[in-house]
Amino acid sequence: MKKSKDFRREPLTDTQLLMTITICIFVGMYLLAMLIFKGGFLHAQQVFDMLNDNASLIIVSCGLTVVMIGRGIDISVGAVTSFVVMSCVLYLNKGGSLFVSVLIALGIGLAFGIVQGFLISYLEIQPFIVTLAGMFFARGMTTILSVNPQKAAHEGFAKLRETKIVIPWLGYIAKNGKLVPARVELGVVVALCCLLAVFLLLMFHRLGRALYAIGGNPSSALMLGINVKRTRFLSYVISGLLSGISGFVFMMHTGAANATNAAGMEMNAIASSIIGGTLLTGGVGNVIGTFFGTMTLTTIKKIVVSSGLNAPWWQSITTGGMLCFFILLQSVVLSQRARKKKA
Partner 1 sequence: MAMQESNLLEMRHINKFFPGVKALSNVDFTLRKGEIHALMGENGAGKSTLIKVLTGVYQSDGGEITVDGKNVAIRSPQDAQNNGISTVYQEITLCPNLTVAENMFIGRERGPFVRQKDYKKRAAELLGELGIPARGTQQLGDCSLAVQQMVAIARAVDMKCRVLVLDEPTSSLDDKEVNVLFNLMRDLKSRGVGIIFVTHFLEQVYAVCDRITVLRNGELVGEYLTEELPQVKLVAKMIGKDLEELKSLGEVEEKKSDIKEIFYEAKDLSSSEARPFDFNIHKGEVNGFTGLLGSGRSESVRAVFGADKVTGGQVQVNGKNVRITKPIDAMKNGIGYLAEDRKRDGIIADLSVRENIILAAQVMKGFFRPISRSEAEAFADEYIKVLNIKTASRETPVGSLSGGNQQKVILARWLLTHPNYLILDEPTRGIDVGTKLEIQKLVLKLAEDGVAVTFISSEIEEMLRTCSRLIVMRDRNIVGELTGADLNEAQIMKTIAGGEAANEKEV
Partner 2 sequence: MKKKSKSIFQGGLGQLTIPVIAIALLVLFNLIRDPSFFSIGITHNNDGNAVLAGNLISIVNSASELAVLAMGMTLVTAACGGQDISVGAAAAIAGSTFVKVLKSGGSISGLTVLAAFLMACVVAMLFGTFNGTLVAVFKIQPMIATLILYTCGRSIAYWINGGATPTVSSPILTGIGSFIPGIPIPTPVIIVVVVAVIFRLVFHFTSLELFTQSVGINGSAARLNGINVTGIKLLSFIILGLCVAVAGCIGVCRLGLINHETLLLDVEMDTILAVAIGGNSLGGGKFRISGSIIGAYVIQMLTITLYAMKVSSTDVKAYKAIVIIILVVIGSPVVKSRFEKMMRQRQERKVPVTAKGAK
**What residue ranges bind partner 2 (CB under 8 A)?**
73, 119, 122-126, 128-130, 132-137, 139-141, 143-144, 147, 259, 267, 270-271, 274, 280-281, 311-321, 323-324, 327-328, 331, 335
Q: How far apart are CA 42 and CA 173, in angstroms?
A: 12
CB count, 10 Å around CB of 225? 7
| Whole-number Cα distances in Å, 46 to 33, 89, 216, 293, 302 | 12, 29, 38, 17, 9
Those residues whose C-beta lies under 8 Å from the C-beta of residue 303, and which sit 6 or more positions away, are 29, 33, 37
Name the residues that contact partner 1, by CB under 8 A: 2, 5, 8, 10-11, 13-15, 203-210, 212-213, 215-217, 219-227, 283-284, 341
Nearer to partner 2, 42 or 267 (CB): 267
Residue 334 CB, shortest distance to partner 1, in Å, is: 11
100 or 129: whose CB is closer to partner 2? 129
The item of partner 1, partner 2, none sharing an interface with residue 135, based on CB under 5 to 8 Å by kind, is: partner 2
Residue 27 partner contact from partner 2, partner 1, none using kind-dependent CB cut-offs of 5 to 8 Å: none
Q: Which CB sits closer to partner 2, 193 or 328?
A: 328
Q: Which does 144 bind (CB under 5 to 8 A by kind): partner 1, partner 2, none?
A: partner 2
User: CA dist 140 to 146, 224, 234, 319, Å?
Assistant: 10, 42, 25, 28
Apex CA 304: angle with CA 298 and CA 306, to 5°? 105
In whole angstroms, the minimum distance from the beta carbon of 142 to partner 2 comes to 8
Closest to partner 1 by CB, 56 or 286: 286
Cβ 1 to partner 2, closest distance in Å?
40
| Residue 245 near residue 106, CB atoms below 8 Å | yes
C-alpha 18/C-alpha 14 separation (Å) is: 6
Q: Which is nearer to partner 2, 180 or 280 (CB)?
A: 280
Binds 92: which of partner 1, partner 2, none (CB < 5-8 Å by kind): none
Question: What's the min distance (Å) between Cβ of 241 and partner 2?
Answer: 20
* CA-closest candidate to residue 256, choices 161, 139, 192, 143: 161
Q: Closer CB to partner 2, residue 48 or residue 83?
A: 83
The answer to whether the CB of 259 falls within 8 A of the CB of 147 is yes
How many CB atoms are located within 10 Å of the residue 176 CB?
Answer: 6
DSSP for 260-281?
Answer: TTTTTHHHHHHHHHHHTT--TT
- Least distance to partner 2 from the beta carbon of 313, Å? 4
* Nearest distance from C-beta of residue 33 to partner 2, angstroms: 21
